[in-house]
Amino acid sequence: MGSVPTLAIEEVSRTFPGVRGGPPTRAIEPTSLRIADNDFICLLGPSGCGKSTLLRIVAGLDRPTTGRVLLDGEPVIGPGADRGMVFQSYTLFPWLTVEENIGFGLREQGTAAAERRRIIAHYIERVGLGGFEHHYPRMLSGGMQQRTALARALANDPKVLLLDEPFGALDNQTRALMQELLLGIWEADRKTVLFVTHDIEEAIFIANRVAVMTARPGRIKSDTPIDLPHPRHYTVKTTPEFSAYKARLTEEIRIESIRAVEMGA
């Protein structure tokens, strides 16, 4: 791991105030995580463990109760174009075409029109949306919408790409193709990626490191480097190495899922 991490999460915790006089909810225990430049990390955990909350804090959409997040040594105080995000829900702007959605961030930063067109065309090609440039989001399938959302985040050339279960709402086949697409982009462009998921196979297949979170209140329980060679082909999922990772992480997650169920999450 690099000596200066691109992204450093330092003792971040989050407590939500109680609803209607109820006791406050502790979503995340003080958690630290260091992510090196160009690393691809998956946050894996049972549902409701606070992994999305942690991601939102990194994005600047939520504030930590204690601790801080550093990006290249600078504390994160709010959302910004240096941390691109893809959400689980479809968040394309419905009044903009695919092309205009991808160019949203560039326009906001005042990129010149010619340069903008060049970048948009590049990413349209990159995510395989040629021919759909002028479509509105409602005309697109879920997979295409998420590909557009990915292109929209990448077009800003963020330092860190944050993904919050981006393929969670897609069917299995589309999902597998999207994983390969994202992996291909990472292998070619080497972005720093923080990816949240509850899908073990997905985590092993795309990440270089898998950090497992405990049930609520969440904290990072283990950090497993995934030592599978790149470029990864989908057939890697049938190798004994892959199965060994899967067996190990499944066991870790299982314990936490049982705890989560016992706590009524």
Residues that bind another protein (CB under 8 A): 59-61, 78-81, 83-85, 87, 89, 91, 93-96, 104-105, 107-109, 136-138, 149, 152-153, 156, 162
Helix axes 142-155, 172-189, angle to 10 degrees: 20
Nearer to another protein, 5 or 60 (CB): 60
Cβ contacts of 264 within 8 Å, gap of 6 or more: none
Closest by CA to 71, choosing from 79, 63, 245, 116, is: 79
CB of 158 to another protein, least distance (A): 9
Nearer to another protein, 9 or 154 (CB): 154
- List, in sequence order, every beta strand (DSSP E) within 93-219: 160-164, 192-197, 209-213
Closest by CA to 27, choosing from 264, 262, 219, is: 219
What the block records as the tokens of 213 is: 């979170």
CB of 228 to another protein, least distance (A): 30
Q: DSSP assignment, residue 220?
A: E
| Side-chain-side CA neighbours of residue 39 (13 Å) | 24
Q: DSSP assignment, residue 135?
A: -
What the block records as the tokens of 219 is: 């904290």
CB of 126 to another protein, least distance (A): 17
Residues 176, 205: Cα–Cα separation, whole Å: 10
CB of 87 to another protein, least distance (A): 6
Nearer to another protein, 156 or 214 (CB): 156
Q: Is 178 in contact with 143 (CB distance < 8 Å)?
A: yes
Nearer to another protein, 164 or 252 (CB): 164
Residues 207, 161: Cα–Cα separation, whole Å: 13
Q: Give the chain's length.
A: 265
Nearer to another protein, 160 or 249 (CB): 160
Quickly count: other Cβ atoms within 10 Å of residue 41's Cβ: 24
Nearer to another protein, 56 or 216 (CB): 56
CB of 43 to another protein, least distance (A): 17
CB of 50 to another protein, least distance (A): 18
CB of 258 to another protein, least distance (A): 31
Nearer to another protein, 55 or 249 (CB): 55
